[in-house]
Amino acid sequence: MFYWLMKYIVIGPLVKAIFRPWIVGRRNVPSEGAAILASNHLSVSDSIFLPLMIDRPMSFLAKSDYFTGKGLRGWATRMFMKATGQIPIDRTGGKASEASLNTGLQVLGRGDLLGIYPEGTRSPDGKLYRGRTGLARMALEAHVPVIPVVMVDTDVIMPIGRSIPRVGRVGVVIGEPLDFSRFAGMEGDRYILRSVTDEIMVALQRLGEQTYDDVYASTVKNRMPASPAP
Protein backbone atom coordinates (compact mmCIF):
# COMPACT_ATOMS: atom_id res chain seq x y z
CA MET A 1 0.00 0.00 0.00
CA PHE A 2 2.81 2.43 0.90
CA TYR A 3 4.56 1.79 -2.42
CA TRP A 4 1.29 2.32 -4.31
CA LEU A 5 0.54 5.59 -2.48
CA MET A 6 3.99 6.99 -3.15
CA LYS A 7 4.01 5.98 -6.82
CA TYR A 8 0.51 7.02 -7.83
CA ILE A 9 -0.59 9.64 -5.31
CA VAL A 10 2.35 11.40 -3.62
CA ILE A 11 5.74 11.22 -5.35
CA GLY A 12 4.96 9.85 -8.81
CA PRO A 13 2.62 12.56 -10.17
CA LEU A 14 4.92 15.32 -8.91
CA VAL A 15 8.07 13.80 -10.44
CA LYS A 16 6.29 13.22 -13.76
CA ALA A 17 5.00 16.79 -13.85
CA ILE A 18 8.46 18.27 -13.22
CA PHE A 19 10.70 16.02 -15.31
CA ARG A 20 8.25 14.78 -18.01
CA PRO A 21 10.01 11.39 -18.37
CA TRP A 22 9.47 9.36 -21.54
CA ILE A 23 9.62 5.62 -22.13
CA VAL A 24 10.10 3.31 -25.10
CA GLY A 25 9.43 -0.44 -24.97
CA ARG A 26 7.14 -0.61 -21.94
CA ARG A 27 5.42 -3.63 -23.56
CA ASN A 28 8.64 -5.63 -23.14
CA VAL A 29 8.02 -5.87 -19.39
CA PRO A 30 5.83 -8.96 -18.81
CA SER A 31 2.45 -8.29 -17.21
CA GLU A 32 3.06 -11.10 -14.72
CA GLY A 33 5.79 -13.47 -13.58
CA ALA A 34 9.32 -12.89 -12.32
CA ALA A 35 11.98 -11.15 -14.38
CA ILE A 36 15.20 -9.20 -13.87
CA LEU A 37 15.46 -5.68 -15.25
CA ALA A 38 19.16 -5.11 -15.91
CA SER A 39 19.92 -1.42 -16.30
CA ASN A 40 22.90 0.80 -17.00
CA HIS A 41 23.60 3.08 -14.03
CA LEU A 42 24.24 6.78 -14.59
CA SER A 43 22.68 8.42 -11.55
CA VAL A 44 21.08 7.72 -8.19
CA SER A 45 17.87 8.97 -9.83
CA ASP A 46 17.79 5.83 -12.02
CA SER A 47 16.13 4.08 -9.08
CA ILE A 48 13.36 6.70 -9.13
CA PHE A 49 12.51 6.91 -12.80
CA LEU A 50 12.63 3.23 -13.75
CA PRO A 51 10.03 2.04 -11.18
CA LEU A 52 7.94 5.12 -11.90
CA MET A 53 7.71 4.43 -15.63
CA ILE A 54 6.63 0.79 -15.60
CA ASP A 55 3.20 -0.50 -14.60
CA ARG A 56 4.25 -3.24 -12.16
CA PRO A 57 5.94 -2.80 -8.78
CA MET A 58 9.63 -3.66 -8.72
CA SER A 59 12.42 -3.91 -6.16
CA PHE A 60 16.06 -2.89 -6.12
CA LEU A 61 18.79 -4.16 -3.80
CA ALA A 62 20.28 -1.22 -1.85
CA LYS A 63 23.01 -1.04 0.76
CA SER A 64 21.65 -1.19 4.30
CA ASP A 65 23.32 2.11 5.28
CA TYR A 66 20.47 3.94 3.52
CA PHE A 67 18.02 2.50 6.05
CA THR A 68 19.89 3.18 9.28
CA GLY A 69 20.48 6.93 9.25
CA LYS A 70 19.61 9.04 12.28
CA GLY A 71 17.49 12.15 12.62
CA LEU A 72 15.23 13.81 10.07
CA ARG A 73 17.58 13.20 7.17
CA GLY A 74 17.89 9.51 8.05
CA TRP A 75 14.13 9.19 8.30
CA ALA A 76 13.62 10.93 4.94
CA THR A 77 16.18 8.69 3.25
CA ARG A 78 14.61 5.59 4.73
CA MET A 79 11.13 6.63 3.59
CA PHE A 80 12.44 7.41 0.11
CA MET A 81 14.10 4.00 -0.19
CA LYS A 82 10.91 2.23 0.86
CA ALA A 83 8.82 4.37 -1.49
CA THR A 84 10.96 3.34 -4.47
CA GLY A 85 10.82 -0.36 -3.60
CA GLN A 86 14.42 -0.76 -2.46
CA ILE A 87 15.43 -3.61 -0.17
CA PRO A 88 18.29 -3.27 2.35
CA ILE A 89 21.21 -5.67 2.05
CA ASP A 90 24.53 -5.83 3.87
CA ARG A 91 27.33 -5.34 1.34
CA THR A 92 30.16 -5.71 3.83
CA GLY A 93 31.98 -8.88 4.81
CA GLY A 94 32.82 -12.05 2.97
CA LYS A 95 29.23 -13.27 2.70
CA ALA A 96 27.80 -10.03 1.27
CA SER A 97 27.51 -11.37 -2.28
CA GLU A 98 25.70 -14.48 -1.06
CA ALA A 99 23.29 -12.33 0.94
CA SER A 100 22.53 -10.21 -2.11
CA LEU A 101 21.94 -13.32 -4.19
CA ASN A 102 19.59 -14.87 -1.64
CA THR A 103 17.61 -11.65 -1.22
CA GLY A 104 17.24 -11.28 -4.97
CA LEU A 105 16.14 -14.89 -5.32
CA GLN A 106 13.46 -14.32 -2.70
CA VAL A 107 12.04 -11.44 -4.72
CA LEU A 108 12.06 -13.49 -7.92
CA GLY A 109 10.63 -16.50 -6.08
CA ARG A 110 7.54 -14.43 -5.30
CA GLY A 111 7.05 -13.82 -9.02
CA ASP A 112 8.10 -10.16 -8.76
CA LEU A 113 10.34 -7.87 -10.79
CA LEU A 114 13.90 -7.24 -9.60
CA GLY A 115 16.04 -4.35 -10.77
CA ILE A 116 19.81 -4.82 -10.94
CA TYR A 117 22.67 -2.62 -12.08
CA PRO A 118 25.14 -5.15 -13.53
CA GLU A 119 28.00 -2.63 -13.48
CA GLY A 120 27.75 -2.68 -9.68
CA THR A 121 28.08 1.08 -9.29
CA ARG A 122 27.31 4.29 -11.16
CA SER A 123 29.34 5.05 -14.25
CA PRO A 124 31.83 7.81 -13.40
CA ASP A 125 31.86 9.25 -16.92
CA GLY A 126 28.80 8.07 -18.87
CA LYS A 127 30.46 5.00 -20.38
CA LEU A 128 29.11 1.47 -20.02
CA TYR A 129 31.44 -0.80 -18.05
CA ARG A 130 31.99 -4.51 -17.50
CA GLY A 131 29.16 -6.38 -15.79
CA ARG A 132 29.39 -8.34 -12.56
CA THR A 133 28.42 -12.01 -12.86
CA GLY A 134 26.07 -12.08 -9.86
CA LEU A 135 23.28 -11.02 -12.20
CA ALA A 136 23.85 -14.05 -14.45
CA ARG A 137 23.94 -16.44 -11.51
CA MET A 138 20.67 -15.05 -10.19
CA ALA A 139 18.97 -15.31 -13.59
CA LEU A 140 20.07 -18.93 -14.08
CA GLU A 141 19.18 -20.05 -10.55
CA ALA A 142 15.74 -18.41 -10.69
CA HIS A 143 15.09 -19.47 -14.31
CA VAL A 144 13.90 -15.97 -15.28
CA PRO A 145 14.42 -13.74 -18.33
CA VAL A 146 16.64 -10.68 -18.21
CA ILE A 147 15.24 -7.47 -19.67
CA PRO A 148 17.85 -4.88 -20.73
CA VAL A 149 17.04 -1.30 -19.71
CA VAL A 150 18.82 1.91 -20.69
CA MET A 151 18.41 5.08 -18.66
CA VAL A 152 18.83 8.26 -20.70
CA ASP A 153 20.13 11.63 -19.42
CA THR A 154 19.64 10.87 -15.72
CA ASP A 155 23.29 11.84 -15.26
CA VAL A 156 22.50 15.22 -16.82
CA ILE A 157 19.87 16.13 -14.25
CA MET A 158 21.63 14.49 -11.31
CA PRO A 159 25.32 13.68 -11.83
CA ILE A 160 27.48 12.04 -9.18
CA GLY A 161 28.02 14.44 -6.30
CA ARG A 162 24.82 16.41 -6.81
CA SER A 163 22.12 16.02 -4.16
CA ILE A 164 19.37 18.13 -5.75
CA PRO A 165 18.43 17.33 -9.38
CA ARG A 166 18.30 19.90 -12.14
CA VAL A 167 15.03 20.17 -14.05
CA GLY A 168 15.25 18.33 -17.38
CA ARG A 169 13.76 15.45 -19.34
CA VAL A 170 14.96 11.89 -18.85
CA GLY A 171 14.09 8.69 -20.66
CA VAL A 172 13.82 4.93 -20.24
CA VAL A 173 14.40 2.48 -23.11
CA ILE A 174 13.41 -1.14 -22.49
CA GLY A 175 14.64 -3.89 -24.78
CA GLU A 176 13.28 -7.32 -25.54
CA PRO A 177 13.72 -10.03 -22.87
CA LEU A 178 16.82 -12.22 -23.07
CA ASP A 179 16.26 -15.95 -22.56
CA PHE A 180 19.07 -17.95 -20.98
CA SER A 181 17.19 -21.22 -20.46
CA ARG A 182 19.78 -22.95 -22.65
CA PHE A 183 22.18 -22.65 -19.71
CA ALA A 184 19.84 -24.24 -17.16
CA GLY A 185 21.74 -26.03 -14.40
CA MET A 186 25.05 -24.35 -15.29
CA GLU A 187 24.98 -21.52 -12.75
CA GLY A 188 28.06 -23.01 -11.06
CA ASP A 189 30.22 -22.62 -14.18
CA ARG A 190 32.09 -19.31 -13.99
CA TYR A 191 32.76 -19.31 -17.73
CA ILE A 192 29.04 -19.61 -18.44
CA LEU A 193 28.31 -16.82 -15.97
CA ARG A 194 30.82 -14.55 -17.69
CA SER A 195 29.37 -15.41 -21.11
CA VAL A 196 25.81 -14.65 -19.98
CA THR A 197 26.91 -11.41 -18.33
CA ASP A 198 28.77 -10.28 -21.43
CA GLU A 199 25.72 -11.04 -23.58
CA ILE A 200 23.63 -8.81 -21.33
CA MET A 201 26.18 -5.99 -21.55
CA VAL A 202 26.26 -6.27 -25.35
CA ALA A 203 22.47 -5.97 -25.40
CA LEU A 204 22.69 -2.86 -23.21
CA GLN A 205 25.38 -1.31 -25.39
CA ARG A 206 23.39 -1.87 -28.56
CA LEU A 207 20.20 -0.56 -26.98
CA GLY A 208 21.73 2.64 -25.63
CA GLU A 209 24.75 3.05 -27.92
CA GLN A 210 26.98 3.95 -24.99
CA THR A 211 30.72 3.70 -25.39
CA TYR A 212 31.77 0.40 -23.80
CA ASP A 213 34.96 -0.14 -21.79
CA ASP A 214 35.74 -3.72 -20.72
CA VAL A 215 36.86 -2.85 -17.20
CA TYR A 216 34.91 -2.57 -13.96
CA ALA A 217 33.47 0.86 -13.17
CA SER A 218 34.77 0.55 -9.61
CA THR A 219 38.30 0.16 -10.95
CA VAL A 220 37.95 3.35 -12.98
CA LYS A 221 36.63 5.20 -9.94
CA ASN A 222 39.57 4.05 -7.82
CA ARG A 223 42.01 5.36 -10.43
CA MET A 224 40.46 8.82 -10.45
CA PRO A 225 42.19 11.53 -8.40
CA ALA A 226 40.41 12.45 -5.20
CA SER A 227 38.45 15.69 -5.22
CA PRO A 228 40.29 18.53 -3.50
CA ALA A 229 39.11 19.40 -0.02
CA PRO A 230 36.89 22.51 0.15
**pLDDT score for 70:** 77
* 76: Cα separation from own chain's centroid: 21
**pLDDT score for 20:** 96
- pTM over 0.85? The answer is yes
d(CA 173, CA 27): 11
**pLDDT score for 227:** 52
What angle (nearest 5°) sits at the alpha carbon of residue 144, between those of residues 175 and 47?
55
**pLDDT score for 63:** 64
pLDDT reading at 229 higher than 70: no
Confidence of residue 74 (pLDDT cuts 50, 70, 90): low
**Mean pLDDT calculated for residue range 206-216:** 96
**pLDDT score for 4:** 73
pLDDT digits (tens, 9 = 90+) for 180-197: 999 999 999 999 999 999
Most confident of 30-39, 77-86, 153-162: 30-39
- Across 105-109, 140-144, 163-167, least confident range: 163-167
d(CA 2, CA 103): 21
Structural contact between residues 37 and 116, judged by C-beta atoms closer than 8 angstroms: yes
**pLDDT score for 6:** 73
**pLDDT score for 98:** 77
**pLDDT score for 50:** 93
- What are the CA-CA distances from residue 106 to residues 33, 142, 197 (Å)? 13, 9, 21
**pLDDT score for 162:** 86
**pLDDT score for 93:** 47
| Single-letter amino acid code for the residue at 74 | G
Q: Which residues contact 170 (CB under 8 A, 6 or more apart)?
A: 19, 21, 22, 45, 49, 151, 152, 153, 154, 156, 157
Across-strand partners of 151? 172
d(CA 79, CA 81): 5
d(CA 39, CA 176): 13
